Amino acid sequence: MDDEVEGIRARKRAELEGAIGATDSVVPMRLTDANFWEIVKGNRVVLVDFWAEWCGPCHRIAPTVEAIAKDYAGRLTVGKLNTDENRRTAETFGIHSIPTLLVFKDGELVDSVVGAVPRPFLEETLQRWL
């Protein structure tokens, strides 16, 4: 229940910040097994970063994911899902390598990127769906 409320608050905060142009505090949303589908189905385009605390490449791509959340606020929702804490969702998508970034459009999985790729590559992938 708390995770669901946290997800709703984060989404509303991001929407409000995007509406008034105050994107400095826009960060990726914390996704969980409990709020995953609500966020994915409730937003037009969603980028989900599947990661783990112990994963070096996950930490290398994190600043890129955070920058995209800020730079694309209002056009794209960005979330991070810790695979160690949310195994059910990770298993649903067969996540075996991290970082894995999945792109959803209108609630449907449309693209994926595996590994700590450069920002231009990730942006090129996202542009197909925005």
Specify the CATH class of 2-127 in words. alpha beta
- Per the structure block, which two tokens stand in for 97? 């390598």
User: How many residues comprise the chain?
Assistant: 130
Per-residue pLDDT reduced to its tens digit, 71-89: 999 999 999 999 999 999 9
- Is the peptide bond between 99 and the residue preceding it cis, with omega within 30 degrees of 0? yes
Which member of 10, 29, 48, 55 is catalytic? 55
Domain map of the chain by residue range? Answer: 2-127
- Identify the residue with better confidence: 5 or 89: 89
Contact at 8 Å (CB) between 97 and 58? Answer: no
- The span from the CA of 57 to the CA of 45, in Å, is 24
Per-residue pLDDT reduced to its tens digit, 28-57: 999 999 999 999 999 999 999 999 999 999
Which member of 29, 58, 61, 103 is catalytic? 58
Q: Any idea which residue has 């298993």 for tokens?
A: 91
Mean pLDDT of all residues in 66-70: 96
Residue 59's CB is within 10 A of a number of other CB atoms, namely: 14
The DSSP secondary-structure symbol of 76 reads -
The predicted model scores a pTM of 0.80
Respond yes or no: is residue 80 known to be catalytic. Answer: no
Position 23 scores a pLDDT of 38
Position 27 scores a pLDDT of 86
Which percentage of the chain shows pLDDT scores above 70? 80
Respond yes or no: is residue 58 known to be catalytic. Answer: yes
Is residue 21 predicted with pLDDT exceeding 90?
A: no
